[in-house]
Amino acid sequence: MDITKIRSLIAEMTLEEKAGLCSGADFWHTKAVERLGVPATMVSDGPHGLRKQDDGADHLGVNDSIEAVCFPAGCATAASFDKALVNRMGRAIGESCQHEKLSVVLGPAVNIKRSPLCGRNFEYLSEDPYLAGEMAAAYIQGVQSQNVGTSIKHFAANSQEHRRMSSSSEADERTLREIYFPAFETAVKKAQPWTVMCSYNRINGVYASENRWLLTDVLRDEWGFEGYVMSDWGATADRAVGVHAGLDLEMPSSGGINDRKIVAAVRAGTLAESDVDLACERILNIVYRYTENAKPDTPWDMEAQHELSAQIAAECMVLLKNEGGILPLSKADSVAFIGEFAEKPRFQGGGSSHIHCFKTTSAVQAAEGLNVTYARGYDTAADRADDAMIAEAVAAAKAAKVAVVFAGLPDSYESEGYDRRHMRMPECQVKLIEAVADANPNTVVVLHNGSPVEMPWIGRVKAVLEAYLGGQAVGLATVRVLFGDADPSGRLAETFPLRLQDNPSYLYYVGEGDATEYREGVFVGYRYYDKKEMDVLFPFGYGLSYTAFEYSNLRLSAASVKDTDALTATVTVKNTGGRPGKTAVQLYVRAGEGEVIRPVRELKGFEKIELQPGEAKDVTFTLDKRSFAYWNAALHDWHVESGDYAVEIGQSSRDIEVSAPVHVESTVAVPMHYDANSILLDVMKSPAGAAAMKPIIDALTATFGGGEGSAAEEAISTEMTLAMMNYMPLRGIISFGGDQLPPDFLDRLLEQLNG
């Protein structure tokens, strides 16, 4: 329906009907206006499958949802570094939504992984905003290609579960703009999600649901968002304030309570009816976009999607260690699968994204027909491994050529609603791994977890495969990777620190009371570890392969550019190993010396490519102003410092293979205003300031510099005088100038400096 007809429809509504349209009919449906033929539509939890609940169902999954397909969670799919793969997954979920008459799937979740402790990290994508934004855009484009909407969430700065409905994320503008906003910004500008879900938390004291700067000034006016904003379930505070701020749809229904508050505010003159009309317009635009393109006869082939889920999971797995090339395993060898996760894999997290799977495939099931034995090893429910279990596991390990321990984090360790308290794995699993490693030197560990874990046992095992939470077919994917039917091509989308205390947010995470200070600023994840030159367990972007890749011949389109120019970078990548394989080519920009404190390097491009043995391909990236910019709080805009930068390409943030320099010239000067307290060092940085100050500095140097002595001593004395003068405020010139300066000297100087 075109916008003119929608506006005409709204004009026929009563104020009560318009206010009612701004909240859900129940937990999952928008309201209908039967008098005018306005239909209701249904939304569903996601983002890695459908959690459709129909009758009186809750948000967190006490009641069962329909059977569906569980794809790998965000922690896994981000590790694929493969936009095409995530797009393909999105299309499959979009088809499922059409089949089930769902207008919007609630995802993707793109909040930044500030700390390994966040309870929902398993469904979030990355610690890096560029990677999160690009992957989110690809997913959104996939889902919405099927004429089904997405709801990117949770906007914004929602990086903990502790006090999530009351806590205020206290962060400066640069931190928000460089770290916590870009994933949303990229998704909006590249993919236009139909809806955006605002978060529970406050941002610098203002609830996201009432934050006009966030929901209107930034999201709509700056980024050009065209859809509607919905609340997270129960995130609404003052409903009338929220409508004015740009919160269009309250979910779930308030039973009419908040609808009546909207009506009362309009009649009291504290809320403009035009704000209500605009919210209705945005909601109906999406309602009709779906209903006019609904295809409930779309087939949903769950078996085909199960196979797709397995393919995606295999692409997401990260090979962390492979000593002596123990992997891939030979199908002729005897192998012991040890650990309950081999038979009952943990493949998804808890809370609103929990899928009721129509089937699962475990590693034990997938290994049927191979020379594989199984020992339980530990009891997940009881979180224990008794002597009998360990003895059985040790016996199985001794009898096999290779022992594969399936371990990780149980459901209770990470879920929506609460944060983890540590990075440790269950002690019973650590003891099991150590016992098996003592029994068989050829021990491999497969991890099922949604966040980094400490690995005190890593020096005692030959290989580690990070499977993350790989969806319902993770067992099938794991066996394919272990036995070489698929190449592990995942790369870490987050740093694995050696210990929790190394994390930059460690001292401040969860905060004090209802305030959480983001004191680490822009130094999140690898930006911090690399700047500190700190040892980590595994760096951002890291991952091994069953083959090897060589990077060479990096060439830039220019040696010097203006910040308004596009710069292309092309690198040649070659498979130098003996097997086909995929790699994630990662491009980082390294800032040179400048006035602004910046990370060592930042991801600004990535591309997943597949190469046959001996094959080489050129990969080209295009860089723009944002690739070199930081957020300048004085300008309230992105700014590039003039200077020398480096374009770096490699296999992780710590493994840079090739690098090329480029000079970037800024086309925008940061405006400077000087006062009596401005120091000479800052004034002298601008050409105008240097010209104005030169005669004064020469006079002061002649008066206080030099002296009797050798030429070398006089030069040193003059240099020392200049160094001290650097930090002198302009008002200090009067003290040293004495009677030689006119009374209005400082006023005239400031007038000259400030133009």
**What are the residue numbers of the active site?**
232
Q: Where are the beta strands (DSSP E) in 637-728?
A: 637-639, 643-652, 655-665
Question: What is the rounded CA–CA span in Å between residue 107 and residue 152?
Answer: 5
Residue 41 near residue 97 (C-beta atoms within 8 A): no
- As a whole number of angstroms, the distance between CA 275 and CA 242 comes to 10
683, 752 contact by CB (below 8 A):
no
Name which of 292, 414, 394 is nearest 349 in CA terms.
Answer: 414
Tokens 């640069």 belong to residue: 174
For residue 665, give every residue at least 6 positions away whose Cβ sits within 8 Å of its Cβ, in sequence order, or none.
560, 561, 562, 563, 642
Helix H segments across 167-245?
A: 173-175, 182-191, 212, 239-245
Q: What is the DSSP letter of 82?
A: -
- At residue 512, φ and ψ (nearest 5 deg) are -120, 120
Q: For the purposes of burial, counting CB atoms within 10 Å of the CB of 267, is it exposed (0-12), middle (13-18) or buried (19 or more)?
A: exposed
SS3 427: helix
| φ, ψ for residue 665, nearest 5 deg | -105, 125
Q: How many CB atoms lie within 10 A of CB 434?
A: 17
- Give the torsion sign (CA, 120, 123, 125, 129): negative
What is the CA angle 6-10-15, rounded to 5?
Answer: 165
Q: Residue 375: what are its φ and ψ, rounded to 5°?
A: -135, 135
Tokens 């009309």 correspond to 277
627 in Cβ contact with 648 (< 8 Å): no
Percentages helix, strand, coil for the chain (3-state, rounded to 5) are 35, 20, 45
Q: CB-based contacts of 684: which residues, under 8 Å, 6+ apart?
A: 690, 693, 726
Q: Rounded distance, CA 555 to CA 569, Å?
A: 6
- Are 721 and 701 in contact by the 8 Å Cβ rule? The answer is yes
Query: Six-digit token pair at 17?
Result: 């009907």
Token couple for 622: 């295009």
Q: Are 474 and 345 in contact (CB under 8 A)?
A: yes
Q: Other CB atoms closer than 10 Å to residue 192's CB: what's the count? A: 18
For the record, the structure tokens of 318 come out as: 């990260």
CA distance 96 to 510: 37
**HSE-up of residue 50 (Cα within 13 Å, Cβ side):** 32
Instruction: Write the DSSP string, 574-631.
Output: EE-SSS-EEEEEEEEEEE-S-SS---SEEEEEEEEEEE-TT-EEEEEEEE-HHHH-EE
Which parts of 705-739 fold into alpha helices (H)?
Answer: 711-726, 732-737
- The beta strands (E) that lie in 183-298 are given as 195-198, 202-203, 206-207, 228-231
For 655, the 3-state DSSP assignment is strand
- Where does residue 84 rank: exposed (0-12), middle (13-18), buried (19+ CB within 10 A)? exposed
From start to end of 328-442, where are the E strands? 335-338, 356-357, 372-375, 402-408
The kind and range of the H/E element at 135 are helix 129-144
Using DSSP bridges, classify how beta strands 149-155 and 195-198 pair: parallel, antiparallel or unpaired: parallel
